[in-house]
Structure 1
Amino acid sequence: MLTRKQLKDIETLQKECEKHDSLQLKLNWEMLRSRETNQFDFLTYENEELIAFLGVYAFGSTAEVCGMVKPSERRKGHYNELFKRAKVTMKHHGFKKVLLNAPASSNAAKAFLNTVGAIYKFTEHQMHWQPQSLEDSAGFTLRHATKNDTDMRVKLDVEAFGVPEEDARAMESRIDSDEDTDMLMIVVEDKTIGKVRVKREEGEAWIYGFCILPEYQGKGIGRKVLREVVKGQNELGHSVHLEVETKNAHALKLYESVGFKAVHAQDYYVYQMETDSQ
C-alpha cells in the first residue's frame, strides 16, 4: 500500500499539474487510498521530491492507467520509463484490456498516447449540478443494497452498460469496501429495476453507476430517480457531481435536463498490449 507520505506527494504533484495545465486529472483516489499492495503504483523521486507518478487501476480484466509528470521535468522520458514498468506488471496480471486515461485538453498526454500507438475509444465528462429547484418525485422507492442484490447489480452492469460479467463482479465487490458510499437499489412495484451509487467526500457527492434495466428505460423513471438523489444530497449540503460517457447521448441529455453541466472531460484510449515488443 502507499505510505502517507507517498499519498501526500501524489496529491501535491496533482495540484501542481492541474494548476499549471488548467485541467483535472482522474487518479481514482478512493482506490489509491485503499490499496492493499503497491504493485500498481509507480513513482519517480529526485532529491526526495516526487516528479512523476503512474497508477494502474484494476477493474476485473480491464486495467485503467493514468499519471502525471512535474511540468519542469517533462520531455525527459520519466513517464515512458514508468509506463514500461507498468506494462510488465499488467502483462504479469493478464489484463485483457488496457485503457489509458488522459484529460481531453492535455497536449502532453496526447503526444504520449500517439507515441505508444493508443487508439481513441471514448470521452467521459465530469458534470456539476447547478443548484435549482427540483420537484418531488414519486412512483418508485430507493433502498440500500444488501448482499442479496449482488447478482442484480452484476446483471444491471452487464445489460445496461455492456460490462463483461467478470469485470462487473470484480467492480461490485470493490465498491462494497468503499467508505462514505451508498449503494441504492431502485424499486418499482416491488421489483428491483436499477441502481445508483453515491460517493461522498470533502463536501462533494458523486453519482456513479446509475442504470435501469433496458425494458424499463424510456418511461421517465430515470429522471425521477435522479431528481430525488440530487435533491437529497443537495439538502445535506453537498455539491453534486457525476461522470458520463459522451457516446451515451441519452444519459447526457437526461443529466442536462435535471441541471447538470459538463465541466471537465477525460479521454480514454485503448492500448494493445500484444502489439508491443516490450
Structure 2
Amino acid sequence: MLTKEELASIKELQNICEQADGFQLKLNFDMLENREGKEKEDFFHYEDGKLVGFLGSYGFGNKVELCGMVHPDYRRRGIFTKLLALGLEDSKRRRFQTILLNAPTDSQSAKEFLKNIPCTFSVAEYQMKWKKTDLIEDPAVTLRLSTTAEDFETEVQLEVLAFGFEEEESRKFNLKLRESHSDEHFIIEADGKAAGKMRVAESDGEAWIYGFAVFPKLQGKGIGRKALSKIVKLEDQKGLSVFLEVEAKNAHALKLYESCGFRSYHSQDYYFYQK
C-alpha cells in the first residue's frame, strides 16, 4: 500500500508537471489509493529527499498501462528511462499479454521520447465532463447496487462481451475491484431484467463512471442512454462533477455520451509496447 506521504508527493509532482506543461496526466488516483501491496506497482525517483520522478503500473485483466512523469527541472537526465525500464521489467515478470504506454495527446516531449521506444500507436482516449443538460426519464430502466453472486456473474460476462476479457481474467479483475476499491457497482435493469452494468468512483468532489456496458443483444434500444441519464442525475444531485472516459474509435459510445451532455476536454494516447 502507498502511504499518505507517498500519495501526497505524487499529487504534488503531478500538479507541478501539469502546470508547467499545460496538459493533464492520467495517474488513476482511484487505483493508487487502493493498492493492495501484493505487487510492486509504483516506481519512485528521489533527489535530495524530494520526489522528482514517478511511474505507475495499472493492470486491467491481461493488459497493463504504464504512465509517469518527471519534474520539469530534472528532465533529460535519464530518470524516466530508468523508471520505464523498471515498469517494463515488472510487467514482463507478471506476464501481462499487452503493455500499453500512456501519454497525453498534446505532450510533444512524450512523442519525442516514444520515438526511441519499440512501440506503435494504438488508440486515443477522451476524458469527458458532463455539462448540465436535460436528461431522459424512463421508469422501465433502473439502477440497483450489485450485491449477489448472480450480479457478480453478470458483471463478469459483460466484461467478456463488451471489453474482450477472457472469462477467468474478468473474474480475477472484478474480485480485485471489490477487494481493493470503495467504488459502487451498479446493475442496469430494463423491464426488471439485468441489461448492463457500471461502476462509479467518488472522490474529491468528482464522480467517475467506469466499466459502463450493455449486453450486445440489448444495445440500440436506448437502455444505455437512459441508464447513463439516471446515474448522472444521481451524482449531480450530490453536488459532484461527473466524468467518464471513452476510446476515440468507439463512435457509438462517443455519440451516446455527447447526447447525454458529456463534452471532451482532454485526451490520452496509448501505444503498444512491442516486447
TM-score of the aligned structures, taking structure 1 as reference length? 0.93
Q: Given the superposition, is the C-alpha separation of residues 113 and 10 from structure 1 closer, same or farther in structure 2, using an over 3 Å criterion? A: same
**Distance in 2 between residues matched to 1:116 and 1:61, nearest whole Å:** 21
* More deviation, 57-66/176-185: 176-185
AA partner of residue 35 (structure 1) = R
Please name the residue that 1:107 is paired with.
108
CA deviations on 1:1-44 (whole Å, 9 max, x unpaired) are 22222211111100001111111111111221222226111111
Partner of 1:20: 20
Q: Any residues of structure 2 matched to 1:60-139 within 5 Å, and which?
A: 60-139=61-140
- Tell me the equivalent position of 1:175: 177
User: Which region of structure 1 is more displaced relative to structure 2, 166-175 or 46-55?
Assistant: 166-175
The one-letter code of the counterpart of 1:93 is R
Counterpart of 1:240 in structure 2 is 242
Runs (4 or more) in structure 1 with deviation over 3 Å come to 177-180
- Structure 2 vs 1, CA of residues 206 and 50 (structure 1 numbering), >3 Å: closer, same or farther? same
Percentage identity across paired residues of the two chains: 45
Distance apart, 1:63 and its partner CA: 1.3
Amino acid across the alignment from 2:18: E
In the TM superposition, residue 171 of structure 1 has moved relative to its aligned partner by: 2.4
- What is the SS of the residue equivalent to 1:138? coil
Structure 2 stretches lacking a partner, 5+ long: none
Contact kept, 8 Å, 2:36 with 2:180, in 1: the verdict is no
Please say which of residues 88-97 and 225-234 is displaced more in the overlay.
88-97
Secondary structure of 1:66's counterpart equals strand
Is structure 2 residue 255 aligned with structure 1 residue 249? no
Per-residue CA deviations over 1:56-88 (Å, capped at 9, x if unaligned) read 112222111000000111111100011112222
Partners of 1:22 and 1:137 lie apart in 2 by 41
Report the RMSD for the aligned CA atoms in angstroms: 1.5
Give the conservation status (yes or no) of the 8 Å contact 1:195–1:211.
Answer: yes
Partner of 2:197: 195
Greater shift in the superposed pair: 31-40 or 238-247: 31-40
In 1, the alpha carbon distance for the partners of 2:86 and 2:23 equals 26
Moved more, 144-153 or 41-50: 144-153
d(CA) in 2 for partners of 1:229 and 1:194?
13
Q: CA deviation at 1:140?
A: 1.7
| Deviates most, 253-262 or 108-117 | 108-117
Gap change, CA 1:262 and 1:229, over 3 Å in 2: same
SS of residue paired to 1:115: coil
**Counterpart-to-counterpart distance in 2, 1:27 and 1:16:** 14
Partner SS for 1:192: strand
| 8 Å Cα contact 1:138-1:224 kept in structure 2 | no
Residue in 2 that maps onto 1:156: 158
TM-score (norm 2): 0.94
Q: Quick check: 1:61–1:166 contact (8 Å CA) kept in 2? A: no
Match of 1:142?
143
Letter of the aligned partner of 2:227 in structure 1?
V
